Amino acid sequence: MTGQTVADRIGELERVANGGGTLREAREWAGLTPRQVHMLTGVPEARVERVEADGACDAQEWEVLRAIYGVDGFAGGRPEGEAGAVMRCEFCHAAWVTESSSPHVPSAGARHTRQCDIRRELAARWASRGR
């Protein structure tokens, strides 16, 4: 921590967690890379980086990103429009929408369920081997 006190750092983290951070700050606070965001949401990496650079996203992107970053919101507020139902997997923490209205957020519920089932099966096999 260069020149920052622990109290300063905690204050920054609280600001981001409470919805006062930028999209990039929230992603970094969550410990995710743009690639990991893509894997958890289906939103292309390049789109994540572009949204972070200019802050322009639609309501559905905003809600999906908010869900996986675990924050109350982002600086600048929520965009206008309907986000629909955003779902989040309790096992792998992926987020998706039941019906996409955004060109950048795929409806991935069925695809995610199959992928997550495979991950659960592999985790169970790994655990049964005592690892």
- Please say whether the beta carbons of 97 and 118 come within 8 A: no
Does 1 have pLDDT greater than 90?
Answer: no
CA 52 to chain centre: 12
The domains of the chain are located at 6-128
Condensed to tens digits (0 to 9), the pLDDT of residues 9-41 reads: 889 889 988 888 889 999 998 899 999 998 888
- Other C-beta atoms closer than 10 Å to the C-beta of 129 total 7
Average pLDDT, integer, range 57-66: 89
Q: List helix spans (H) across the chain.
A: 6-15, 23-30, 34-41, 45-54, 59-69, 109-128
Cα–Cα distances in angstroms (integers) from residue 79 to residues 20, 61, 62, 66, 93, in the given order: 15, 9, 7, 12, 23
Query: What three-state secondary structure class fits 87?
Result: strand
User: Residue 109's pLDDT band (boundaries 50, 70, 90)?
Assistant: low
State residue 21 phi and psi, 5-degree precision. Answer: -95, 165
Q: Tell me, what's the pLDDT at 79?
A: 85
pTM (predicted TM-score): 0.75
Q: Rounded to a whole number, what is the distance in angstroms from the first to the last CA of the chain? A: 36
